[in-house]
Amino acid sequence: MFPVLVAAFLSLLLRVPSCSAGDPCPTKMELGNTCTCNYVRITREFTSTLPTPSLVQMEEERNMLTPNTTVSPPTRKEKDGGIMYTEVICNKARTLTELEETALTALHRKLIDKLIVSQVPSVKEHTLVNLPVRWLRNTRIRQLEIRDTLLAGDFISQGIPLDGQADTMLWLSAYRCNLFGALTYEDLGTVNTRGLNQLPHLEGVDLSFNHLTVIRATAFRVPPANLSTILLPNNSITVIESASFQYIPMLKCIDLSHNLLNSVARAMFASPARYLENINLSWNYLRVLPADFFVNMPSLKIVSLNKNFLYTMPGQPWAVVFKQLTFLDLTGNFIDCDCNLLWLLPILSPAAANATSTPAPKPLPGQDIRGSCSQNTQMPGHYAIEHRLTTLTRKDLMC
């Protein structure tokens, strides 16, 4: 998952003109012992349409790496075509007051490309954390990432902690923050999204590695106008209510991998889902997809369904979308080489209908199709034969 996430944030930053890059790092004296600041290089040769919440490794991994930092502020135009962005990491605050004071002094009137706050202390022992009241009002942040903190469910709206960020914030992450239960707009006792609509330029929300169980229909009923990416992997989601993502007109990427889903419905997305390009449902418990699941998704290019429990691959829903995909991963399923795959043969071998023998299959140009089906040998002591989907022929099907 992490290479995909890294790719996405690089793409996000490369869209920001170099003339509007973040301000230079504050001095060590200004940051004190609470925060550190690094310069991270991004090469313009890297291109990707996939979003990411973070370019930063887990803290234990970062300690093992040599940091890619500079002693003095770098120039915005690099010889190799790269750019630099500022990354402030605050992980040593002993109190909320200390964190707030650092933001109000060291980051005063600064534009920061990325602010990471982790292990944010609570006001009282064993209580959930809300960020300091309006603590960023005099700072402008493009990406805010909260990590390893026992956040309260209303952390976005309580105390207006994101006041002042309406014109700059592009990405919000709450990663490994023990967010538990249902994701709703403002229901009591749940994780709330109220307040996101006050960030009209927000493009991505990442709530991965938490304990979300249900996505209510109201969760994104009032989304930011530019919201295009929602990352919810590594939770405990079992239910996604109808219309949960219908009100996000610009949605391009949805990641629901590593959850506990055993069913999904087409109605959770808008129809048509004009801009949806990437659906990740890998590492769930799906046995079948609805017949209309890919209907009215004209921009869909990437589908990840690896490590599920799919036993068949019928023409509905697959035939309507197969030719437009550039990447499809079905590895780690239990698909049978049965008659439900007959629809795929004319796509792989278009001349087969008028030939006395089936021509050799040819992969579609620009496609990366990963997956196989199993053909039972019906012979004692023999295992099933695996056939790659991209080289499937009529004799491989058990019908």
CA distance 129 to 100: 14
pLDDT at 15: 54
pLDDT at 351: 63
CA distance 349 to 361: 5
Helix-strand-coil split of the chain, %, nearest 5: 15, 20, 60
Alpha-carbon dihedral angle through residues 125, 131, 132, 133, given to the nearest 10 degrees: -130
69 pLDDT higher than 50: no
18 pLDDT higher than 80: no
Average of per-residue pLDDT values in the chain: 85
Position 329: which residue type?
Answer: D
62: three-class secondary structure by DSSP? helix
Of 329, 327, 345, 328, the C-alpha closest to 337 is 345
264 pLDDT higher than 60: yes
- pLDDT band for position 215 (50/70/90)? very high
- pLDDT band for position 79 (50/70/90)? very low
- Least confident range from 26-40, 121-135, 231-245: namely 121-135
pLDDT at 48: 40
pLDDT at 75: 38
pLDDT at 43: 54
pLDDT at 55: 37
283 pLDDT higher than 80: yes
pLDDT at 61: 37
φ, ψ of residue 320 in degrees (nearest 5) = -70, -20
CA distance 241 to 214: 8
Q: Do the bridges between strand 35-43 and strand 82-90 make them parallel or antiparallel, or are there none, so unpaired?
A: antiparallel
pLDDT at 251: 98
Chain segment 128-161, per-residue pLDDT in tens? 999 999 999 999 999 999 999 999 999 999 989 9
pLDDT at 298: 97
